[in-house]
Amino acid sequence: MTEPSATPPPVSRRRLLGYAGAGAAVGAAGFAGGIGAARATDGPHGEGVDRYAFHGTHQAGIVTPAQDRLHFAAFDVTATSRAELLLLLKAWTAAAAAMTQGRPVGGGVPLPYDAPPGDTGEAAGLPPGRLTLTFGFGPSLFRDADGKDRFGIADRQPAALRRLPHFPADALQEQRSDGDLCVQACADDPQVAVHAIRNLSRIAFGSAALRWSQLGFGRTSSTSTSQATPRNLFGFKDGTANLKAEEPKAVDEHVWVGQGDDDGAAWLADGSFLVARRINMMIETWDRTSLREQETLVGRDRHVGAPLSGGTEFTEPDLSLKGNDGQPLVAMSSHVRLAHPTQNNGVRMLRRGYNFTDGNDDLGRLDAGLFFIAYVRDPATQYIPMQTRLSRDDGLMEYLRHTGSGLFAVPPGVRKGGFLGDTLLT
Amino acid sequence: MKNRRLAAALVAGVSLPALAACTDNSSSSSDATDGRTIAVTSSSDACDLSSDTAPSGRLVFTIKNTGQEVTEFYLYAADGKRIVAEVENIGPGLSRTLVVNADAATYVPACKPGMKGTGIRSELTVTESGGSGKASAAVQEQVDQANAAYREYVEDESGQLLAGTRRFVAAYTSGDDARARTLYPTVRVHWERIEPVAESFGDLDPKMDAREADLEAGQKWTGWHRIEKDLWPPSDQPYTALTKAERATYADQLLADTETLHGRIGKLTFTVDQIGNGAKSLLDEVATGKVTGEEEIWSHTDLYDFQANIDGARVAFEGLRPVLKQKDPALESEIADRFTALESMLAQYRVGADGFVSYEKLDTTQVKQLSDAVNALSEPLSKLTAAVTL
């Protein structure tokens, strides 16, 4: 065992490897105009552009400009006592605070040669990669399948935190759905994101077990006006009308849970709800579809991303503008129309999806699609009604198959000295 | 599966001219160098062409709408009346591409900002260059024949579907389950052969062909697959058999919906692009639902549907085949060969005169072979529409 001593000062991965003082610029100047809460202040080198603060009012990884890579994981809690759950969340908090700042888990404390290293090591030498770790609680953490209170918190379960309903044409796989806890790891480097989930998973052994996870690449949403709109695997720009960090009022209205939203779950104020959906795309049949039909189904021009009613990428679609056949230029069953706020009681959501390709299926078809992540203030009024309409009426559904699903309550950010979920558990 | 793609085309009455050369948005960079690409700028009060002459053969018009209203571009024959090609519904700020095979002649190009009036017209002289895309009278006659023949086919299948459904519901409501189980896949063949047409009626399709997984919370489940589950009740989950009265309710509903469908189908007419796209979407149906065994989850009669989808696509293809033979003989023979390959592969699983083995009897390797053959056919088949309309 290590010598009992005062906690050593945090050691950066770089310093550990003898690269102390190396410049931290990672060519991410694009988000210099990002919002204050996302600015780095926790790092040993002070403010930098390669890391985001872990502590704050809200968890990082929500309005934070979307990084390029994702490793999302859901866990089943195997702990049976509240004390064990608390220990897990405290250990995760410490590890997350370290890893997001580019420090190894365990603070780089020397361990006996015959002990396994405190950190798994594969991110040593890599910059923090703007890693964010965002945690959520599933409905099953509060009550088990029989409705039994698992950790004395059932009376604090948010009213909106329920398993999502069955949507038309759902083809959900149990092994890719739900979970008691979730962690969204986003970073510019896949190795940094995978390293984070691997370490959290390791820390959890005995208290929680990995239930399912998903790797993602190529963010499919912009969460900041500083970012160009990316493309999904259908080749179309995705997230043009997404909520952006630069719209704090709209984010307050549509993303953050307010103080009085749910009297039974006041602990969730400043938190949010995370909707995760694994959406397979029928890549092969899509690629055989005429461009006319592709654009009609989406409601946008593929090249520029402008709505078919005209303009440029960021022009609001004119849903009433008709063509010479008397039909709207943005078709009634098009994705853009059905997802538009005016068709959904004005609600918006902050999307944070990623493309994925998990190799292929038994028939040699790409197992690929969009791992959809959205943050909403109230899933019952924002996500559920919209997805019901999309699943039923969206022409794109012909080419989509929802294979995984989860809904999680995302607690507020961790204050210095606090831990994940402390507003719920203390 | 619900197929919403033809819905707009068939029900909302969108129609494309039978032989209008309107393959939008395709482009060929090599065309830019030899005067075959003509840039058209459509503003609120002008219709500027980058050139007023062009060589005969394949021409590419790139139309940019710089005005504030929706615009259209037409290429008329010299008489200013006959439409040679057109692009409709170009939103302000957007660009579209129109590919035309033009013979040497004088043409009248026209932009219609606001989609009103006779348009802002000019003149385009196409000179002889050896290239031609002659839409001869003979081809037009073949197209007309294909349209008429496809219409007859669809109506005939829909009639057989109605007659078969009568026999099926009679057996089912009388409690003759063995006969109902025999009739189920063979009657549904007539639905599956014309599936894109049948499914284009957005109000009927969910009532008639929804699978259990397609439902939304609280939605009533009716139609073929509801009865399928009652005839092949699951062994791995609790299931309560329908009562005699419930059987009658579902059977009556299915028959009434089939009658409505048959009545509506009798009023339809088709265009070449609808037939071509219909063939493609039948193969999509195979790739998405049948080859994976998801369509007939209780009865496992997916291979009947598989064959029927191919039958329908084959009829569509055969109708357009004389046109395709003239326009793109290489594509014509490729599609024909791959139809044959897929059909003979599927024939291995035939039982008796018109039956197939249960989908459950296929192993992964066999399913993969079928899937590969479907892909091999689908890829060239997806080029059929563009090939016959240009």
- pLDDT band, very low/low/confident/very high, at A348 (cuts 50, 70, 90): very high
Q: Is the pLDDT of residue A345 over 70?
A: yes
Q: Is the pLDDT of residue A318 over 60?
A: yes
Indicate yes or no: CB of A307 within 8 angstroms of CB of B2.
Answer: no
Tell me what pLDDT residue B10 has.
Answer: 47
Tell me what pLDDT residue B208 has.
Answer: 96
- B248-272, pLDDT tens digit by residue? 999 999 999 999 999 999 999 998 8
Tell me what pLDDT residue A48 has.
Answer: 54
- B185-200, pLDDT tens digit by residue? 999 999 999 999 988 8
State whether residue B215 sits within 8 Å of chain A by CB. yes
State whether residue B83 sits within 8 Å of chain A by CB. no
Q: Is the pLDDT of residue B14 over 90?
A: no
Best mutation target, A282, A293, A308, A363, to test chain B (most B CBs within 10 A): A363
Q: Is the pLDDT of residue B96 over 60?
A: yes
- A126-143, pLDDT tens digit by residue? 999 999 999 999 999 999
Task: Say yes or no: ipTM exceeds 0.90.
Answer: no
Indicate yes or no: CB of B8 within 8 angstroms of CB of A327.
Answer: yes
- B201-254, pLDDT tens digit by residue? 888 998 999 999 888 888 899 999 999 999 999 988 899 999 999 999 999 999
State whether residue B127 sits within 8 Å of chain A by CB. no
Question: Nearest residue on chain A to B26, judged by CA atoms?
Answer: A291
Best mutation target, B4, B64, B205, B285, to test chain A (most A CBs within 10 A): B4
Q: Which residue has the tokens 């969340």?
A: A89
* pLDDT top residue among B13 and B311: B311
Name the average pLDDT for chain B: 89
Tell me what pLDDT residue B33 has.
Answer: 54
Q: Is the pLDDT of residue A174 over 90?
A: yes
**Chain B residues with CB inside 8 Å of A299's CB?**
none
Mean pLDDT of B98-115: 93
**Chain A residues with CB inside 8 Å of B92's CB?**
310-311
* pLDDT top residue among A225 and B28: A225
Separation in Å, CA of A285 to nearest CA in chain B: 6
- A355-396, pLDDT tens digit by residue? 999 999 999 999 999 999 999 999 999 999 999 999 999 999
Indicate yes or no: CB of A362 within 8 angstroms of CB of B385.
Answer: no
Tell me what pLDDT residue B93 has.
Answer: 95
What SS3 string covers chain B?
Answer: CCCCHHHHHHHCCCCCCCCCCCCCCCCCHHHHHHCCEEEEEECCCCEEECCCEEECEEEEEEEEECCCCCEEEEEEECCCCCEEEEEEEECCCCEEEEEEEECCEEEEEEECHHHCCCCEECCEEEECCCCCCCCCHHHHHHHHHHHHHHHHHHHHHHHHHHHHHHHHHHHHHCCCHHHHHHHHHHHHHHHHHCHHHHCCCCCCHHHHHCCHHHCCCCCCCCCHHHHHHHHCCCCCCCCCCCCHHHHHHHHHHHHHHHHHHHHHHCCCCCCHHHHHHHHHHHHHHHHHHHCCCCCCCCCCCHHHHHHHHHHHHHHHHHHHHHHHHHHCHHHHHHHHHHHHHHHHHHHCCEECCCEECCHHHCCHHHHHHHHHHHHHHHHHHCCHHHHHHC
Tell me what pLDDT residue B216 has.
Answer: 83
Tell me what pLDDT residue A136 has.
Answer: 98
* pLDDT top residue among B166 and A225: B166
Q: Which residue has the tokens 């759950």?
A: A85
- pLDDT band, very low/low/confident/very high, at A338 (cuts 50, 70, 90): very high
Q: Is the pLDDT of residue A13 over 80?
A: no
**Chain B residues with CB inside 8 Å of A168's CB?**
214-216, 219
Tell me what pLDDT residue A217 has.
Answer: 95
Question: Nearest residue on chain B to A292, judged by CA atoms?
Answer: B24
Interface A-B: count of C-beta contacts within 8 A: 122
Best mutation target, B11, B66, B70, to test chain A (most A CBs within 10 A): B70
State whether residue B97 sits within 8 Å of chain A by CB. no
Tell me what pLDDT residue A16 has.
Answer: 40
Q: Is the pLDDT of residue A37 over 50?
A: no
Return the percentage of chain A with pLDDT > 90, whole number: 80
Tell me what pLDDT residue A49 has.
Answer: 76
Tell me what pLDDT residue B136 has.
Answer: 65
Q: Is the pLDDT of residue A34 over 90?
A: no
Mean pLDDT of A204-220: 94
Q: Which residue has the tokens 């095979």?
A: B101
Tell me what pLDDT residue B367 has.
Answer: 95
Residues near B353 by beta carbon (within 8 Å), at least 6 away in sequence: none
Q: Is the pLDDT of residue A30 over 50?
A: no
- B38-57, pLDDT tens digit by residue? 999 999 999 999 999 999 98
Q: Is the pLDDT of residue A336 over 70?
A: yes
Mean pLDDT of A157-181: 96
Mean pLDDT of A310-327: 94
Tell me what pLDDT residue A223 has.
Answer: 87
* pLDDT top residue among B239 and A16: B239
- pLDDT band, very low/low/confident/very high, at B133 (cuts 50, 70, 90): low
State whether residue B221 sits within 8 Å of chain A by CB. no
Mean pLDDT of B119-133: 87
Tell me what pLDDT residue A108 has.
Answer: 78
Smallest Cβ–Cβ distance between B216 and the set A167, A301, A363 belongs to: A167
pTM: 0.87
